[in-house]
Amino acid sequence: MATILKAGQLFTPLRRVEQPLVFIEDGQITEITSAAHREIPGQARVFDFANRVFAPGFVDMHVHGGAGHDVMESTPEALPAIEQLLYRHGVTTYFPTTITASSTSTIEALSRLADAIEAHGKNHTKERARPAGIHLEGPFISRVRPGVHPVADLIAPGLQAFEQFWEASRGHIKVLTIAPELEGARQLISEAARRGVCVSMGHSDADLQETQAGIAAGARHTTHTFNAMRPLEHRDPGITGVALADDRLSAEIIADGVHVDPMVVRLFLRAKGVDLAVLVTDGTAATGMPDGQYRLGSLLVEVKDGKCLSHGRLAGSILTMDQAVRNVMKFANWDLQSAVRLATLNPARTTGLAGGVGTLAEGASADLVVLSDQGEVVQTIVRGQLV
């Protein structure tokens, strides 16, 4: 029996459908039409969301944890708790993101995350986001711009070290953050890109020429733009200037109003536009939790007054993706459809996700988020399963 969803509007997100009907069978979308053009079959199960908005499930390509847990934890309850929190905030697909640690700890974490990715591919669990690949943030980053990454565990970019990580992940590394100015970085960028990895430049002090060399080698994205990278100077644009001006690069931003001032978020959105801007949370174990102390990899971080800090420095965020979408609407006066694209289609394209992830279309997985017209999450639907 087919399941049919009704609402007031639907964003694919490239186009808008009024009074949509979404037909779902076996977890896939079989048809998207309008109630103005199609009658509802009598035998179908119908769920009517009245004047709400259907959008693709959100995709977070940079998240370290949530609900008191970190993705690098070895405890069995960690990932389920994180995935349930993401689900409640509209995320249906995510990329668990590592932070620099010892090679041994990183390898162990990559192996566990590979297990989780493969388990989700076989058996989906209700009310949880699913991991689509791993984002390796560090250890191939700048000692000048490490953020809170432990400097003692940073290593020079090298094919041998990357191969160890690749084997531990069983090929599930899909995003790599790297500083392109480091010796050996260009060779590693080229090899990672050849394997289909989205190579992102970040935690970097690269100048203009070094950044352009990274792009030539295969880099095509920037990690949490403005944060942990050489600042923009009018005679020294550096990596930040390239991120803003070069249309070969997509670029992510933490739109919480803490990591980047709302005025600069607006500038970023004008520069990258609806095609190339990507929202990420950089969420930590503290997301969804009260003020207190939490883990970020091997670090202890403290959350107070909306900021996540380690020794006085920003250490990830407590941002959720639905709040990031609402902040884009508030900071830049964008409409909901445009803001949604930055959390759906754009990250899916950036990471090379297949199967229609990040879009609503016939043949795609029935991953949807039901929103109010202000962007609040009413319900999240993964593979057509309604709660």
pLDDT at 298: 84
Q: What is the Cα–Cα distance from 80 to 343, expressed in whole angstroms?
A: 22
| pLDDT, tens only, 168-180 | 999 999 999 999 9
User: Token pair of 116, please?
Assistant: 């989780």
Helix (H) or strand (E) holding 87: helix 78-88
For residue 122, pLDDT over 80 is answered with: no
| pLDDT, tens only, 260-307 | 999 999 999 999 999 999 999 999 999 999 999 999 988 889 998 889
User: Token pair of 387, please?
Assistant: 């709660």
For residue 224, pLDDT over 80 is answered with: yes
Helix (H) or strand (E) holding 83: helix 78-88
* Catalytically annotated residues: 282
What percent of the chain clears pLDDT 70, i.e. is strictly above it?
99
Q: What is the Cα–Cα distance from 199 to 190, expressed in whole angstroms?
A: 9
Q: How many CB atoms lie within 10 A of CB 304?
A: 11
What percent of the chain clears pLDDT 90, i.e. is strictly above it?
91
β-pair partners for 18: 9
**Longest pairwise C-alpha distance within the chain:** 67
Average pLDDT over the chain reads 96
Give the C-alpha distances (Å, rounded to integers) separating 315 from 128, 147, 270, 296. Answer: 25, 7, 27, 8
Instruction: Identify residue 79 by its one-letter amino acid code.
Output: L
pLDDT at 41: 86
Q: What is the Cα–Cα distance from 215 to 201, expressed in whole angstroms?
A: 9
| pLDDT, tens only, 14-46 | 999 999 999 999 999 999 999 988 888 888 899
Residue 48, classified by CB atoms within 10 Å of its CB into exposed (0-12), middle (13-18) or buried (19+), is exposed
pLDDT at 44: 86
Give the C-alpha distances (Å, rounded to integers) separating 300 from 76, 294, 303. Answer: 20, 6, 10
Q: What is the mean pLDDT of residues 180-208?
A: 98
Alpha-carbon torsion, ordered 282, 286, 290, 294, to 10 deg: -150
Strand 3-6 to 45-48 pairing = parallel
* Domains in the chain, CATH or no CATH each: 3-53+372-381 (2.30.40.10), 57-357 (3.20.20.140)
User: Token pair of 260, please?
Assistant: 């980047």
pLDDT at 124: 67
